[in-house]
A and B are shown apart, each in its own frame.
Chain A
């Protein structure tokens, strides 16, 4: 079974600064997807960024980028030029690329425990 670990329960950053959130995972699979989700106080989980394991290039989405180290099974999120609106709980998640009959692995995300990010003005 896959596991996802976020070792930082809480992080803080000054507005306009850069912060990195850590995530490690354990899997025996070679093909999979990794995600970072953001959960603001509204509670809705919002996809921030995703990475396909077969791609060596790190994904980027505007101020958000990842450092994907497949051999080390590490998937950190870097937020540049932090904004007050970035304050939220951030979850790292894993999804297998395999699927059985009926596509049963689709949407089956394994989440980490989350990191609460505080942004100070």
Chain B
């Protein structure tokens, strides 16, 4: 049982569709993240939320719209995507602390295919 749950596991959508990815963490963490993993490319940080507030947007196109209603839930709303947006989208959470032992816990990702 992972502490970070992502749904759906797979998603196929057309370029005109609107869909949402969901992430839920059961670890009591106060920070959540979206990462994008494309084939043959390093993972890229997309968004960071700290105590429900977005603290980082890594120049992500507006067709990706994150939402963090509380510290346990994170969404990624998708609309008018492009085929090059096909990738594995990973959610992660952590407990932000001034201590040095902060660790990221990842979900299993949503494999997105844009047709």
Query: CB within 8 Å of B: which residues of A?
Result: 4, 33, 37, 42-47, 50, 52, 91, 97, 102-104, 106-114
Contacts and interface: CB of A to CB of B under 8 A. Distances in A.
Nearest to A50: B103
Given A102-B55, A103-B96, A47 B104 contact: yes
A64 B79 CA distance: 42
Find the residue from A50, A91, A102, A106 having the highest chain B CB count within 10 A: A106
Contacts of A50: 103
14 contacts: A43-B108, A43-B111, A45-B92, A46-B106, A50-B103, A91-B43, A102-B53, A103-B55, A107-B92, A107-B102, A107-B104, A109-B45, A110-B42, A113-B40
Contacts of B33: 107
B81 interface: no
Given A102-B53, A106-B48, A108-B45, 15 more contacts: A4-B42, A37-B106, A43-B88, A43-B108, A44-B2, A44-B108, A44-B109, A45-B104, A45-B106, A46-B106, A97-B100, A102-B50, A104-B55, A107-B33, A107-B92
A108 to B, nearest CB: 6
B106 A113 contact: no
B7 interface: no
Contact of B43 (A42, A47, A97, A109): A109
Closest 8 CB pairs of A and B: A45-B106, A111-B43, A111-B42, A44-B108, A43-B109, A43-B108, A102-B55, A104-B55
Given A103-B50, A106-B94, A107-B48, A47 B55 contact: no
Contacts of B43: 91, 109, 111
B21 interface: no
Interface in B21-55: 31, 33, 40-43, 45, 48, 50, 53, 55
A108 B96 CA distance: 12
A35 to B, nearest CB: 8
Contacts of B103: 47, 50
A113 B41 contact: yes
A98 to B, nearest CB: 12
Nearest to B95: A106
